[in-house]
Chain A
């Protein structure tokens, strides 16, 4: 009879001990994966929709919230394995109009996982579903500009962004600047002029005016230099001065810079320079 009395409490104590011990081991195993890593194994959002029973957006919210925590942990092994799946396949399918996940997802993809192309694909998806959300195209454009240094591509994205109603001027300005980066000064000048014309604040006006100023000079210089070469090709020697270029119809107008100051021409070397300084810092070298 006495061993019966001991059996109960002994079993209880043993269970408590083994529960704690096995729990400890399970926690160690769990730390190697991540908290709530079950979410990683979710099926595509298309199917998940069915289970959301009419609340796919809520589900998207919850999964998004989880993903922030998950990707905020830097010590998880192999954490980018399902990155594209979570953002591209699950959240965006559950709620295609939820903008934040596209942005954050793209950011994680490009900055932390180092895969800007993955980020761009995600953003493309977002843009397709939300053409009026300029920020998505803007983000994509900025990614191309800043990380990939792919200016033409960036310019295309900015153009897409600009199609949305009420786009902030930053987009237009970057767009204009892309052409400058590409080396297409004329296009850049055109776009910068547009920005200047449509400037709503003094700041934007002043900044764009500066760009227009500098670009005009650069465009003029380009044209002048081209004309000089054309002259040299035609006549075998350098033109005497810039006015003769205008007279010969090789430049469209009087070679005067935006400040009304004539351009300098060195007839010995054939170099054309502007007297007025560039307004923007970085151009001083030219």
Chain B
């Protein structure tokens, strides 16, 4: 299908982009150095390695999503490759969705490589716990959502602004529980209602964050994984829908 063709092309293009490898190298360095860090402490080695490992996969995944994602769409528009593409018998929606799929594929490879390295480290030390996979699955779902946001912003904005907006969105998504706290402290009136409404609307990225639980060995019930994944995928679809709408109406000056 045409969308798949674009996705494959995007994947090929991104895979050959050096920035990807830079990020990957940093990620692996980070995970490796956690082993060194843990040597400086007494006890809690396992927790530190696991904490840093999961954090690396998450953060570098987000970095890839933002920089490669924003860069790809921007480059395409800036360098006018999009002109000839749009003149072909494909819909603009196919274009943007294909781009997104290609990016998600890149991220999947990225996460897979980092995870393999991470797991290898854990297995070597005997700290392996397959429940960690649940956290990684949710990390990936979160990445899919962040990528969709990056694509949405880059459909109408410059790469610097898009990157900024996406990072902001990421931070807000993780701090949305603060809105609930705020709602309780504010005096009665519009304040709490606004906070609660915002909390409902803004995607809650923290719902996809079970890293802490997993490292502590607390069981993450499969129902939670299911609902969180469903939530993430649903939000992603909504964002992609918006991206398609924006992209469709856009002038390519």
Contacts and interface: CB of A to CB of B under 8 A. Distances in A.
A/B: CB atoms within 8 Å of each other: yes
Interface of A: 8, 11-12, 14-16, 18-19, 21-23, 25-26, 29-30, 35-36, 38, 40-44, 46-47, 50, 66, 69
B241 A41 contact: no
Contact of A29 (B184, B206, B223, B238): B223
Contacts of B37: 50
A18 B235 CA distance: 9
Contacts of B180: 35
Interface string B81-93: 0000000000001
B181 to A, nearest CB: 5
8 contacts: A12-B237, A15-B241, A19-B235, A36-B178, A38-B209, A41-B215, A43-B44, A43-B48
B119 to A, nearest CB: 21
Interface in B208-229: 209, 212-213, 215-216, 218, 221, 223-224, 227-228
A264 to B, nearest CB: 65
B238 A15 contact: yes
A66 B180 CA distance: 12
Interface residues of B, number: 36
Given A35-B181, A47-B41, A11 B231 contact: no
B14 interface: no
A8 B216 CA distance: 42
Q: Provide the main secondary structure of the chain B interface.
A: helix
A188 B207 CA distance: 60
Contact of B224 (A8, A26, A35, A47): A26
Q: Which of B44, B47, B234 has the largest number of chain A CB atoms within 10 A? A: B234
A251 B178 CA distance: 72
Given A8-B241, A19-B238, A29-B224, 17 more contacts: A8-B93, A11-B241, A15-B234, A15-B235, A16-B238, A18-B233, A21-B230, A22-B234, A26-B224, A26-B227, A36-B177, A40-B212, A42-B212, A43-B47, A43-B51, A46-B41, A66-B181
